[in-house]
Structure 1
Amino acid sequence: MELINSQIVGEGTPLIILHGFLGMGDNWRTHSLRFAEAGYQVHVIDARNHGHSFHSSEFSYQLMVEDLIHYMDSQQISSAPIIGHSMGGKTAMLLAVTYPERAERIVVVDMAPKYYPVHHKVILDALSTLDFTQIKTREQADHQLGKFIIEPSIRQFLLKNVYRKTSDELGLRINLPVLKDRVAEIGTALPTGTIYEGEALFVIGGKSNYVLPEDIPLIKQHFPKASEVIIADAGHWVQVEKPKEFFEITYQFLQKR
């Protein structure tokens, strides 16, 4: 079984961080350094078909959970707190209800355990138009994506996937064909009736529509000890838009005994 890629920062209590769909561990670089300064050994994971991790024709939350358990075993981590954003949050939830003894506690960033309809089609279609036989610079890639995606912040997030394969050829780190084919997997709900009795914190962006007030009862069904914090002026990328507030809230939760 192949091992997913990680960046390990600091020494101390293990802490695992999981990125969102089309992201990578590098997105969490600043926070990983802060958590390392606070006494954690931070394991920032690249999910399969993302970042520097292996490409596979198979893609699901169950497989990402199994990848993570395999990784924890390889690092001799019996249990750890897990932070996950969006897709990473759903992965953390599924791991917690499937292997509760492996999740010391979880922090879920702007994600609910509910089903989400497919809503990444524009982004995936835009990425599919990047022709690296013609596009030779990130600026050209940005210009091409700009024909479909207005928001510069979303384009910059996506452009982190562009890398130099050779001296004169760019490529994408994500396994785009498989992610396009399996995109419906991202919206999968947590299995009905699954429960995690440990501590759980849901950090919600006040300007995001990913977690709505009516989702709280479902969160409580799966996570009876869950607490929720809404960061008012943040959208879906809470940790990027409000880094100071996010770190302080999360750190306090991780320290709570």
Structure 2
Amino acid sequence: MTFGEDSRPLDRDAPDDASALKARKACINCRKQKMKCVLQGSSEACRRCRRAGLPCVFVPRANAAQLPSLSGTLDLDFKNNVLSRLKVVEERLSIVADGDMDFGAVGMFSAVSEQSPEPTPDGPLWNAIVLLQRCSPAVPPSIWQRDTIESLWSSFHDRMPGLHFMPDKQTFSTPQPILLASILYCSSSRGPPDVLEIAPQFFTVLCNAIAQLSIPSSEIGTPRESTVSQEECSADFNSR
């Protein structure tokens, strides 16, 4: 059997779709069954996958020639998907950059403090509260009321009067913001029903505070040596 020269122009004038189908080779399902992958018409699924109701997925072999545009499109879709999911997480946690933080929360907290004077021994505690407010501008302002914070703070120490994991079982007097957020969440999650309602808000505050550790030069992520020294001095004073 001879094909003659008439077949050559036909090969040269073949559409680009034919080269794409040739580069495609076989889908995953046909490759597993070692069967020929047959496409019909303009359908993107092969005949076997269409009859079986399976997704027709083609993954080029490592040594196979592939269309660069297909690989680039898949990479771009994957990157866009990851970025969109990351944006949802950041919006859920209300994570913002240091320069874009809403400092209106500080003024809101100052208004609450003006209504009830702040005792001197509680200074470090309320300084940590201010930092937690800055990193969680989306939570309701009502959870930062002084009476609420003092109640949660006192109930935590009442339930754990001598913290077994602390030297000499001293209580906290100058907590770090993340530790304070943990105490407020633990205390609210074990409180009465009216306090239990705000536990999810303090959990969001705790997540935001932990997330701040990944932001360079953030206020919460900056260690404070003076705080540690004050805790040690408080422990020495209580042991006397």
TM-score by length of structure 1 reads 0.20
Which structure would you say has the larger RCO, counting Cα contacts within 8 Å and 6 or more residues apart?
1
Q: Could you say which structure has the larger radius of gyration? A: 2
Higher helix share: 2
Higher strand share: 1
TM-score by length of structure 2 reads 0.21
